[in-house]
Chains A and B, each alone.
Chain A
C-alpha cells in the first residue's frame, strides 16, 4: 500500500517536473477583430497622409518623393488586406504595423515641405510678378523722362534755329 502510494507520488512528481521543464512558446495570435482594426487604422493613416501631401502640392511643392513613400505604404496595405481575407490575421497585423512604421513622421515632413514651398512661392511671386511689374513701370517712366528731356533739349535747339 505504502509502496504503491510512493510510486504514485514519484510518477506525479516526475510528470510535474517534465511539464515544468518543457519550453514554453508564446504565440501572439491576433483575432479577426484586431486584424481588421489594424488594417482599417492603416487605411485611415494613409488617407491622412494623402491629405497632407495634397496640401504640399497645393502649396506648389514637389510631392514626387512623398508619393513614392505612400505607394510603398499602399503596397503593404494591399498585402495586409489579402492576408486578412485569407484569415492570416497575424500577417495582416504585421503588414499593418510595418506600414504604420513607414509612415511615422510622414505628416511632419509634409508640413515642413508645405511651409517651405509656400515660402518659395511667396518669394517667387515677389520677384517674378511684383518685381516684374515694378520694373516695367520703372522702364516706362524712365523712357518718358528721357523723352521729355530729349524733347526739351532738341525742341529748344530746333526753335533757336
Chain B
C-alpha cells in the first residue's frame, strides 16, 4: 500500500502530462461592451460630433496565436449587412482595419471611441454622413445617407466589426464568420 501510494506520488508529474483532457472545441470569442465595461448602456441615440465609447473584445480559443483583422464597416438600412445565419460578411468595403494578435487562451480588449459627422437635409428628408472618427482616425463616409425609418422611428446607422483571420496556408485573410454591431439612431 505504502509503495503504491509512493509510486503514484512520484509518477504524478508524468501522469499530469498524459491524463490531460484533450481540447476539442477551437473558436474565437468576439464581443462589444458598453462604456462602463458592461453589456449595457450601449450608445443608440447619437448626436453629431459627440464622442461615444465602447470596448471591443477578442478571445482566442484556437489553440495557437491568431492574427485577426477586424474590419470596421458602417451601413445604412438598405446596404448589405453581415449575416450570422449564412455566416457571410458584408460586401461593403472596410473603412478601417484593426490588426489584433492574440495568443492562445488570451483576451485582447480594445477601447474604441467614435463620433459621427452628419447633417440633416430638409429638402431630401435624410441624413447625409460626412465622416466617422474612430480613435482619432478620420474615416470618409461621404457616400452614405440614411432615410427615415417610420417603422422604427429612427435614422438608422449600423457600425459593425467583422472578424477576419490570417490563414498562413492561403497567405491571406479569411472571414472568421463572426461580427458584432451597434445599431445607432442619428438624432437631428
Interface residues of A (CB under 8 A from B): 46-47, 50-51, 53-54, 57-58, 63-64, 67, 70-71, 73-75, 77-79, 81-82, 85-86, 127-129, 131-133, 135-136, 138-140, 142-143, 146-147
Q: Which single member of A50, A78, A139 contacts B98 (CB below 8 Å)?
A: A78
**Contact between A57 and B104 (Cβ–Cβ < 8 Å)?**
yes
Bound complex: CA of A135 vs CA of B168, how far in Å?
A: 43
Q: Is the CB of A75 within 8 A of B101?
A: no
Chosen A-B contacts, 24 in total, with CB atoms closer than 8 Å, are A46-B99, A53-B65, A54-B64, A57-B65, A58-B64, A63-B65, A67-B101, A70-B67, A70-B101, A73-B99, A74-B98, A74-B101, A78-B99, A129-B14, A132-B11, A132-B14, A133-B11, A133-B14, A136-B10, A136-B14, A139-B7, A139-B10, A142-B3, A146-B3
Known contacts being A77-B99, A140-B3, A140-B7, is A132 close to B64, with CB within 8 Å?
A: no
What is the CA–CA distance of A53 and B7 in the complex, to the nearest angstrom?
Answer: 39
**Is B100 an interface position by the 8 A CB rule?**
yes
Q: How far is the CB of B172 from chain A (nearest CB, A)?
A: 10
Cβ-based interface call for B181 (8 A): no
Residue of B nearest to A75 (CB): B99
B106 at the interface (CB under 8 A from A): yes
* B103–A132 CB distance below 8 A: no
B96 at the interface (CB under 8 A from A): yes
- Which residues in A have their C-beta under 8 angstroms from that of B103? 57, 63-64, 67
Bound Cα distance A79, B139 (Å): 11
Q: Mark B28-67, 1 if CB is under 8 A from A, else 0.
A: 0000000000000000000000000000000000001101
- CB neighbours (8 Å) of A79 from chain B are 137
Given A50-B65, A67-B65, A71-B99, is A128 in contact with B14 using a C-beta cutoff of 8 Å? Answer: yes
CA separation between A80 and B97, bound complex, in Å? 11
Expressed in whole angstroms, the minimum distance between the Cβ of A140 and any Cβ of chain B is 5
Complex CA distance for A129 and B15, rounded to whole angstroms: 8
Q: Please, how many angstroms separate the alpha-carbon atoms of A67 and B108 in the complex?
A: 10
Q: Name the A residues within 8 Å of B13 (CB-CB).
A: 127-129, 131-132
Contacts of B24 in A (CB 8 A): none
| Interface flag for B12 (CB, 8 Å) | yes
Asked whether any CB of chain A lies closer than 8 Å to the CB of B121, the reply is no
Check A74 against B65 for contact (C-beta < 8 Å).
no
Complex CA gap A132/B17 in Å reads 11
Closest residue on chain B to residue A46 by CB atoms: B99
Pairs A-B, 5 closest by C-beta atoms:
A74-B99, A143-B3, A132-B14, A128-B13, A135-B10
Check if B6 is an interface residue, CB within 8 A of chain A: yes
Query: B140 interface residue, CB < 8 Å from A?
Result: yes
Query: At the interface, yes or no: B175 with Cβ under 8 Å from chain A?
Result: no
CB neighbours (8 Å) of A132 from chain B are: 10-15
CB distance from B129 to the nearest CB of A (A): 16
B143 CB to closest chain A CB (Å) equals 13
Residues of B within 8 A of A143 (CB): 2-3, 6-7
B182 at the binding interface (Cβ < 8 Å) = no
B14 adjacent to A74 (CB under 8 Å):
no
